Amino acid sequence: MVRNTEDKVSCTQFAARNLTIVFLTGLLAACGGSSGARNNPPPADPDDSDPPPSNPAPTLSLSASPTVVPAGGNATLTWQSEHADGCNASGGWTGTRGTGGSSSVGPIDADTVFRLSCSGAGGGVTREVTVRVADDNEVAVELDAARTQIGVNESTTLSWSSQGATRCTASGGWSGDRPLNGTFETGPLADSRTYSLTCTDGTENALASVTVDVFDKTIRWQAPEYNEDGTPVTDLAGYVIYWGEDSRAYTGSFRINSPSTTSWEADITPGTYYFAMTAFDSEGNESDYSNELLKIIP
């Protein structure tokens, strides 16, 4: 359920202030004022006289692999945007996209333009890429992965097809000669890998690549050490982990009744989530939310 913002703890009872999730910097938000509202951002530092930073213009890169496919083939689009809040796809694909990722598109039966527009406080930016369908006498190859985002030690299946080629050779995350059309099981992967396949007719070459990203499902944190008044925490009983698709709007939670635990395997529905934590004492008094962690769960 969504966190009740009025369920707060008195700072004099239990308000651990340095609960920190790794991968991010920042301290657990301590009680601030009489309202104690948990969904409010931390107050600005009154001693901070530096002017606010200007809003930089968003940047965006967009690429396709391959850029030439057999009729009815697929391609993988990869993009990355900085200083943007979100992106929208148009042309040969549609819908809202995150600020970075990859997506398989197809089947592609005609030359197709794929367009992506990203926007933020500093403005907007648009990029496009064209995927062309090979002529009948042209060498082409497509390579795809059943899952491009997996957990540690999970596997996925690669599939490919070629046109007009007499030989295909693998490189990158795999190697050796491959049939002109086929599938390949990656086996358990511990880290991200890019698989490439080059097909040729002896004169002309065609290259396709796909990246399989490996994500750790584990959430890690440092235990709180101090109460808000600076005294050591002596009555820590456990933690509650919260998550949701929107910042500070949590729809799931998991309670950990162990003060010595500092990690949790997020076996939840795959997706991209905001995570935050609280600490509680033996009487059930709960601290404020920690800083947030934005994490992909495969």
User: What would the two tokens of residue 254 be?
Assistant: 């998991």
pLDDT for 208 equals 94
DSSP H stretches of helix in the chain = none
DSSP codes joined into one string, 4-39 = -TT----TTT------EETTS---PPPP-TTT--TT
Domains 20-28+224-297 and 57-133 agree in fold = yes
8 A C-beta contact, residue 275 and residue 219: yes
How far apart (Å, rounded) are the C-alpha atoms in residues 126 and 213?
A: 25
139-214 topology per CATH:
Immunoglobulin-like (2.60.40)
How far apart (Å, rounded) are the C-alpha atoms in residues 85 and 46?
A: 27
How far apart (Å, rounded) are the C-alpha atoms in residues 33 and 4?
A: 18
User: What would the two tokens of residue 54 be?
Assistant: 């200007």
CATH class in words for 57-133:
mainly beta
pLDDT for 233 equals 82
pLDDT for 221 equals 87
| Residue of 59, 55, 56 whose CA lies nearest to 118 | 59
The domain locations on the chain are 20-28+224-297, 57-133, 139-214
Report pTM.
0.65
pLDDT for 30 equals 30
What CA–CA distances, in Å, run from 51 to 27, 36, 57, 86? 23, 28, 18, 26
The answer regarding whether domain 20-28+224-297 maps to CATH 2.60.40 reads: yes
Question: What is the pairing mode between strands 149-151 and 205-215?
Answer: parallel
pLDDT for 291 equals 85
User: What would the two tokens of residue 232 be?
Assistant: 């050591």
pLDDT for 8 equals 30
pLDDT for 52 equals 53
Q: Which residues in the chain come in under a pLDDT of 70?
A: 1-53
